[in-house]
Amino acid sequence: MEQKKKKISLYKKIRRDFYVRVEESEKKHRNKIIALALVTLLLASTLLFCATLLEKSTKGQYVYYYGDVEQKIKAENENHVIDFIALADFCGMSKNISINNASFEINNTRVSFTDGSDIAKINGINIKMPTPAAIKNGYCLIPLSILERISHGLNIITDKNETTIQIEGNIFMIAKDFEVKYETDISKYLEYIHSKDEYIYTLVNKQNPVDKTFPEDQDALIEIPAEYRKTDVIYLHYIAEKALEAMMNDMFALGYNDTYVTSAYRRYDKQQQIFDKYVNDLVNQGMSYDEAYATVLSDTALPGQSEHQTGLCVDLTTKSIVTVDNRFADTEVFAWLQDNAWKYGFVLRYPEDKVNITGYSYESWHYRFVGFDIAKIMHQTGLCYEEYLENFWDK
Ligand SMILES: [Zn+2]
């Protein structure tokens, strides 16, 4: 009996010891988990702290890539800036930097910044910037966001943190969002001047001819009112015609009332007649047919290659000139058109310095309607229509 009691008590002891051991091991295990959790927490917060530090250190500096050329700029505040001098070098702009002023020029467009001033000047037009320009240490720092408003053609790619900025493309300086003034009330013409109808973008030249059936929609051609022409009935596409009325009303209001339209829409066969007549005239003057043909071809369009078939352009002249020739370039109204035709969506289609691109001689009298948006870009970049399409179409 005594023996049995002993055995039971021993058994109890063993069992107790076992539970104590189990309990202790569980305790240890629990402690391990707590320790592990603490270490993990510490590690995570350390990482977070490092990341914040890292972010703080990279935030202090912007890295610009102009193509492959790298430039680092220290950020002075939260506003992104860009060094216009490096940008100008990348884009091939000419530059003129003094202590307080930096001016740049490309394609006859001039942009200038003054140290400490938040006004950028583009061809004399003032553009307000969100922060002032800073000209120092060989930099001309301007807010990056202003590039959007004063240029076209650049592709600016920033990384997620906005600290690396890649710049590609060609720059075209343009002052956007400035006020356009007219001489008369042109409100009823604005919808035409700002038309986005695809037809107004039609390109017709020696490489892009049209056939006899063009344009399909003959009903879109309407008569130009008698006050804007001289005798013959002249037709023009209705969108271009309305814009022309606005332009001519303003011209008349300014006293250029001896200007009139001498030609606009021309049928395919009419162009053929004109071409043949010019060749015959030269042949009658003693030139060989081949020579006469080549001479006429240099400045007269073959049927199908004339923009006049679109009904989107006009030839202008004055009562003292009557014919179409470059004496028109010496008139005051020509000078006015140079500065203002774009406001009505018209452009000088065959400029003197673009003959090798347009394929046509200089025609100071020939104005093409392309709509306000394109006319404005062409006016401010100095590009001709072929160049505009090459650089901006679908961008
Ligand atoms: Zn013409």
Q: Tell me whether domains 61-173 and 187-266+306-392 share a fold.
A: no
Instruction: With cut-offs at 50, 70 and 90, classify the pLDDT of residue 3.
Output: low
- Cα(52) to centroid(ligand 1), Å: 66
18: pLDDT strictly greater than 60: no
- Cα(84) to centroid(ligand 1), Å: 41
What's the confidence (pLDDT) of residue 5?
Answer: 58
C-alpha to C-alpha distances, 165 to 24, 138, 298, 310, 367, nearest whole angstrom = 60, 20, 48, 44, 41
> Domain 61-173: which topology?
Copper Amine Oxidase; Chain A, domain 1 (3.30.457)
What's the confidence (pLDDT) of residue 56?
Answer: 44
Domain 187-266+306-392 has CATH 3.30.300.20: no
Q: What is the pTM assigned to this prediction?
A: 0.65
Give catalytic status of residue 363 as yes or no. Answer: yes
Select which of 241, 245, 307, 363 is catalytic: 363
Average pLDDT over residues 2-20: 59
pLDDT tens for residues 310-364? Answer: 999 999 999 999 999 999 999 999 999 999 999 999 999 999 999 999 999 999 9
- Cα(315) to centroid(ligand 1), Å: 5
Residues lining ion ligand 1 (Cβ < 5 A) are 315, 366
What's the confidence (pLDDT) of residue 55?
Answer: 47
Residue pair 262/317 in contact (Cβ under 8 Å)? The answer is yes
- Cα(355) to centroid(ligand 1), Å: 14
Distance, in Å, from the CA atom of 257 to the CA atom of 318, rounded to the nearest integer, reads 9
| Percent of the chain clearing pLDDT 90 (strictly above) | 55
- Alpha-helix runs per DSSP H in the chain: 2-59, 84-91, 146-150, 190-193, 238-253, 268-284, 289-299, 332-340, 355-358, 372-381, 385-392
What does the domain layout of the chain look like in residue ranges?
61-173, 187-266+306-392
Distance, in Å, from the CA atom of 144 to the CA atom of 156, rounded to the nearest integer, reads 10
- Cα(308) to centroid(ligand 1), Å: 6
| Percent of the chain clearing pLDDT 70 (strictly above) | 87
- Cα(262) to centroid(ligand 1), Å: 9
- Cα(263) to centroid(ligand 1), Å: 7
Nearest Cα to 90, choosing from 177, 151, 161?
A: 151
103: pLDDT strictly greater than 70: yes
Strand partners, 133: 115
- Cα(176) to centroid(ligand 1), Å: 30
